[in-house]
Amino acid sequence: MSASAAAEATPSTDDVLLGRKVHVKVPATSANLGPGFDTLGLALAQYDEVEVEVVDSGLEIEVHGVGEGEVPLDASHLVVRAMAHTFARFGRELPPIRLVAHNSIPHGRGLGSSGAAIVAGVMAAKGLLAPEVEISPDGLLEVATELEGHPDNVAPALFGGLTIAWVTPEGPRHKKLMVHRGVSPLVLVPEHEMSTALARSLQPQSVPHEDAVFNVSRSALLVAALIQSPELLLAATEDKLHQSYRAEAMPETDRLIRRLREAGHPAVVSGAGPSILVLASDPSERADATSLVEETADTAWQALPLAVDFLGATVTPVDGD
């Protein structure tokens, strides 16, 4: 058989994948958790879901829920960009697809919406490429981190639970830990958004040595508090590295965190903000924190009592109609 005939006989990637369909579910995340700046992250039981099908031609996108009528419906859509990047990393070209997204993670609120979109795209690509291409957990984290820039949000979105993320010369790595069953997260979400880029721009290039030591001790304590000793969460969530520098950009968030902590609630900025994460040690404390915010906040805040997600992102094949 000639080379040209062999090429004609070999099915293209599009032909092989045509008709494949996957469903992806990705949890919200809260990064930093107070002292664990760019290192610690927690997966929360609030989800974005996407369904992706390989079709004959074109690109069709539907978005329902959060972001409907706001996010782009073309190749610049973050899920599509993440899929295309993942396909390219494994020497493939993204085929024509139909994507339907059902979003519930608030955008621009510090709950990992961009990380969730990236993870959704990476997982959708993994599902469509299997079994021809197998992507390891480290490979998933590496590809997602390339797009996100740092692994503290994408690690818990991928793997669930409490994650410690770090970067090595060989790429990003993570360790997943199970959270004590007494920990009862509460997320307080304001109506206004916060730019992650703006929040990071307020961060100094260097900090005092004593502040760095302070955060090392609190980060170590926080891991122990979350997995074993929830009664230590108030002390363990103290921070001197990032929250005070960003406070001027979100004064209402800062004021509420101070009031919550003065009342004994372990409250921190969720990710880059402006949402607040309260790591309550039981459901009654979570209810008390919600009441305090309702009584003292100057603006509207949505209270979301959320469980910890222990599973992380999932991708499952969908049988054709």
The 8-class DSSP code of residue 137 comes to H
264 is in an annotated binding site: no
SS (HEC) of 67-107: CCCCCCCCCCCHHHHHHHHHHHHCCCCCCCEEEEEEECCCC
Give phi and psi for 55, each to the nearest 5. Answer: -120, 180
Q: Find out whether 233 is annotated in a ligand binding site.
A: no
**Cis, bond preceding 274 (omega within 30 deg of 0):** yes
Q: Was 85 annotated as part of a binding site? A: no
**Annotation-wise, does 116 bind a ligand?**
yes
Cα separation of 221 and 226, whole Å?
9
Q: Alpha-carbon distance 164 to 284, whole Å?
A: 28
C-alpha R_g of the chain:
21
Is 151 assigned to a binding site?
no
Place of tokens 């974005």: 48
Please count the residues of the chain.
321
Is position 114 annotated in a ligand binding site? yes
111 is in an annotated binding site: yes
Of all helices (H) and strands (E), which one includes residue 249?
none
> Is residue 115 part of an annotated ligand binding site?
yes
Would the annotation count 77 as a binding residue? no
Give the annotated binding-site residues.
Answer: 106-116
Give the annotated binding-site residues for ATP.
Answer: 106-116
